[in-house]
Amino acid sequence: MASDSAQIPNGITRLLLVEGDSDKEFFIQLKKHHQPNAQWHILTYGGTSNFRTALKAFMSQNNFKNITHLGIVRDADFSGGAFQSIQTTLREQSLPAPNISQQFLGDMLKVGVYIMPDAGSSGMLETLIWEALQDDEIASCVYQYFECLATKGIVPKQERIPKAHLRAYVTALMVGKSVDEKAPSKDKDKNYYSDVYKMSWWTWDKPEFNGIKAFLAGLLAE
């Protein structure tokens, strides 16, 4: 039995499945900026290893029959095969399996897949967010910090680098930009990288987000 938070609400025809809570928060905030009045719902499937089980559970819900557009988002990570893995699971469940990332395929039910960070590169959600922060003055300081650590023999594993960059960036915010006298007081209380895009100076109008916006347009298309 799925928890209430994993239930497909009544009246929903557009469903987006994402890996975890950080991904869900990202899309909640993006939704407020991009198509805020559109009726689509976000559910988490609890990580890549749980996707097959979670998809079957979602499909068993009575309201799944109302879904006309199903979007699935997954991290590419660094080992390859993320898109093919989703394809395989979709075919196992007799669902439409797109041939390329971003494409929606199907008739009665259209299914689309987006592989983070940009439907082509290795990485994850954090990679996408970090790419959008490259023109920020603190970004160069973060790189210098990790270069210094490397001289001391501390080198993060490849799969940890995007998260590490963002954590270091947020730590810098606590002593820098976030406590600027011109910043609203609410910005001073931000502690997690998932809150970066809630800050007053954050913008979704970055070219790095064009791909995921196009994918969401497909989710909302007729």
Strands 69-75 and 110-116: parallel
Q: Which two tokens stand for residue 221?
A: 């298309």
Confidence of residue 209 (pLDDT cuts 50, 70, 90): very high
Please state which of the ranges 17-31, 59-73, 162-176, 188-202 shows the lowest mean pLDDT.
188-202
Architecture of domain 4-124+208-220: 3-Layer(aba) Sandwich (3.40)
Higher pLDDT pick, 196 / 146: 146
Distance from chain centroid for Cα 45: 12
Question: What's the pLDDT score for residue 38?
Answer: 87
For residue range 45-86, list pLDDT tens digits in order. 999 999 999 999 999 999 999 999 999 999 999 989 999 999
Question: What's the pLDDT score for residue 161?
Answer: 92
Average of per-residue pLDDT values in the chain: 89
C-alpha–C-alpha distance, residues 196 and 173, integer Å: 9
| Phi, psi angles (nearest 5°) of residue 25 | -65, -40
Question: What's the pLDDT score for residue 177?
Answer: 56
Share of the chain above pLDDT 90, in %: 69
Where in the chain are the domains?
4-124+208-220, 126-202
Kindly write down the DSSP assignment for every residue of 130-179, as one continuous string.
HHHTTTSTTHHHHHHHHHHHHHTT----GGGHHHHHHHHHHHHHHHTGGG
Q: What residues form DSSP beta bridges with 113? A: 72
* Residue 93 confidence (pLDDT) above 90: yes
Distance from chain centroid for Cα 103: 17
Question: What's the pLDDT score for residue 188?
Answer: 52
For residue range 135-186, list pLDDT tens digits in order. 988 899 999 999 999 999 998 888 889 989 988 888 887 666 544 445 555 5
In this structure, are residues 16 and 71 in contact, taking their beta carbons and an 8 Å threshold?
yes
Q: Which residues are CB-contacts of 166 (< 8 A; sequence separation ≥ 6)?
A: 126, 129, 130, 193, 196
C-alpha–C-alpha distance, residues 93 and 113, integer Å: 15
Question: What's the pLDDT score for residue 14?
Answer: 97
In this structure, are residues 98 and 105 in contact, taking their beta carbons and an 8 Å threshold?
yes
Question: What's the pLDDT score for residue 59?
Answer: 98
